[in-house]
Structures are given as C-alpha cells and as structure tokens.
Homo-oligomer: A and B are copies of this chain.
Amino acid sequence: MVNVQPIKGVQGQADERLRETDNPSSQVALFGPDQPLRLDCGVDLTPFQIAYQTYGTLNADRSNAILVCHALTGDQHAANVHPVTGKSGWWETLLGPGRALDTDRYFIICSNVIGGCMGSTGPSSTNPATGKPWGLDFPIITIPDMVRAQAMLIDRLGIDTLFSVVGGSMGGMQVLQWCVAYPKRVFSALPIACSTRHSAQNIAFHELGRQAVMADPDWRQGRYFDYGTHPHRGLGVARMAAHITYLSDAALHRKFGRRMQDRDLPTFSFDADFQVESYLRHQGSSFVERFDANSYLYLTRAMDYFDIAADHNGVLAQAFRGTGTRFCVVSFTSDWLFPTSESRATVHALNAGGARVSFAEIETDRGHDAFLLDVPEFLEIAHAFLQSAAAARGLPQAGN
C-alpha cells in the first residue's frame, strides 16, 4: 500500500481565532445605527466595527498619519506579536523606529478590512439579527467598501488628511482606491505590487481557491459554525494554490529545487518526497489555524470585482484626473501575479491624469511576496519616497 499523508486538518488555535472575531486584541471603533456603512451591493451594513492597531504618535496638527492597508490574508497586526499565531508582525521589515514607516516620526494606523476575520465586521462576526455568525448572509463587499469603512475610521480618529496610504497586493488596491475616492485626503500614496483591476488569470486562481473551500463538505454551505466544523482541508488547498502564485519559479528553484525532504532517494509513494511539497503542506496547515474560510471567499471576491476603470467609463486616467497626491508605484521583476506591466499601466494612467508619480521596478527573484520580505532596494525606495514626501509636507525630522 502506497503511503499517503494528506494535508492536516488542524483545529489548534481555532478558539483564539474565534475570540478575535468579535472581541479582538486591538482597538475597536464601533459604528452604530446612525452610521451605517453603505456597501456597493446596495446594503447598509449596520452596526459594524473596525479593529485596528496604531504605532507611533499623532502630532499636534494631525498631519503625520499613515494608513497601512493589508493584503488578502494579512490583518491589522503589522508590527506587533500576532494574538493568534504568536508570530511577529507581517511588515516589521518596513514598519518600526527608523524604518521607512518610521514610528518615531509618523502615526501609523493599520485596520482589519471589512469582511476580514480579525475583529472588523465580516462573515465570521456575530450577526446581531440572529446572534449567530453571519456566514453567507454577510453581504458581498468590495475594495471601495473596505476603503469607505477606513475613511469612517479616519474620521473617527479626527484625521482629515492622511500623510500617506501604503500597501501591497490587495493593500495596494486599497491605496489606489483611496486616491480615487478621497483624492484630497491623501497627500502621498505608495501602491506596491498591485493593479487597478484584477486580471483573468488572477480571477481564475481565486475561483480555484473558492471552489476548493466549497468542495469541502465541512464548509456546509458556509454554515460550518452551526456544525462545529471548519473546511480546513479545502482552505488548506486554496492556500497552497495561492502560495504558489506568491512565489516565483526562480525562488522555488533556489529555495527547494528538486531536493528531497530528509532523504536521498525517492520513496516511490505519495509522501512529501520533495522539500517543496512539505513546505506547501505546512503553508496550508498553518494558514487554516488563523483564517476564516468564509472571509477567504469574500475577500478574494472583492479583489476579483476590483476594476477602477470600469467605474470611470472605462477610462482609467479619468479616475486620477487632477489628483494632487504624490505617487510612488512599485513592482517586482519576478512577480507574475501582479507583473510590472500592471504597474506600468497604472503609471501611464497616473501620468495621463496629470499626477506626480515615480515608478520603481525592483529586481528580485522573490516573486509577489517580495513586498513582505527583506528586499533592501525596495525598503530603501519606500524610505526615500516617504522622507521626500514628508519634507514636502513640512513634517519635522524624527526626534525634532
């Protein structure tokens, strides 16, 4: 009999994850019935809440605030220990004292997106009408909805204009949407490894992930909370698929090649003979411990729907016409999920709209994930762009 090691269905940290949904280990802004969130699908979401972390200090004239927008499976814990996994923040390469997102100089806000599962209202939150998790009764949300909710948070914090909005991947989509929806409220913008609309191939990969989740009988039409199950296996498979797209062929080759896992010869089995196999299985298993399957469906859908030009008569440049925001657009040479051509299209539209824009394509073999990694050239460019924007904004140097 051939050996088999299917992906593990770990429930390990499920309790911590569920607790975070309604009562997160973060600051929370509650928006009551007087402040509904008007969604693109036509629904008024109310009441709702946004969970967020802040780093650094808001200055007296409230001019040093930076909003960090997280990616699909990210959350508000950008630079602190994660309350579920115990791991360090996902953007500590960029965010901290003396770094590009300098906590000695700026006041940095990072909020969980609407539809997420770490404390902002989403499908795993309790639906006040039923006292049970929303599940698929949660309305479909869009990137503009996420940004509209963030703007309400920024209002709540008493901030009129953000010094900068920064993010990669789905976070970069939010950055661009901020500049389109609230051009006067964004002094500078750093959209990284993203695009103004999701490509057919990217939609295809997302649909694959959704089908993997929905194919898991433990998903139970999204009502897994009622049954005490969670579609670990389906979500794990979805994560494996997504993870391949986050890396480059070259990075996989350098990292793993065809090296075997703890052995020299093939086992002639379905064991994880190759290191890349056990790595992927680990990625799948560890992800399901910290993420809600329905959130994954909703957030991938939001990215698929994103299409700035479609909201502007099909003319992307119209979306940015007359903007006063300073842009720095960043792409990575080996990113095949959001290739440089997408960023170039964004830059062309910004130029056509008369924007002040710089563009950096960073040479790296680390794929889409490069924006989360210690890629010195990228970190330096982000640092330099924000310093230059800070000077233009008249912000004092750190420590002054």
CB neighbours (8 Å) of A210 from chain B are 270
A281 touching B4, Cβ below 8 Å = no
Determine how many copies of this chain the complex contains. 2
Q: Is A72 an interface residue (CB 8 A)?
A: no
Digit string of A111-146 for contact with B (CB within 8 Å is 1, else 0)? 000000000000000000000000011111000000
Binds B, one of A46-54, A176-184, A231-239: A231-239
Tell me what chain A mostly uses at the interface: helix, strand, loop, or mixed: helix
Digit string of A267-303 for contact with B (CB within 8 Å is 1, else 0)? 0111011101100110010000000000001000100
CB neighbours (8 Å) of A140 from chain B are 2, 268-269
**Measured between alpha carbons, how far is A255 from B204 in the docked complex, in Å?**
12
Q: Is A241 an interface residue (CB 8 A)?
A: yes
19 sampled A-B residue pairs with Cβ under 8 A: A2-B222, A4-B222, A7-B211, A42-B268, A139-B268, A140-B268, A198-B258, A199-B252, A200-B252, A200-B255, A200-B257, A203-B258, A203-B274, A211-B280, A211-B281, A212-B215, A215-B234, A273-B304, A274-B304
**20 more A-B contacts (CB under 8 A) besides A200-B255, A204-B276, A210-B270?**
A2-B136, A2-B222, A139-B268, A197-B258, A199-B249, A199-B253, A200-B252, A200-B258, A200-B276, A201-B252, A201-B253, A204-B280, A207-B280, A207-B281, A208-B237, A211-B237, A215-B234, A215-B237, A270-B301, A336-B336
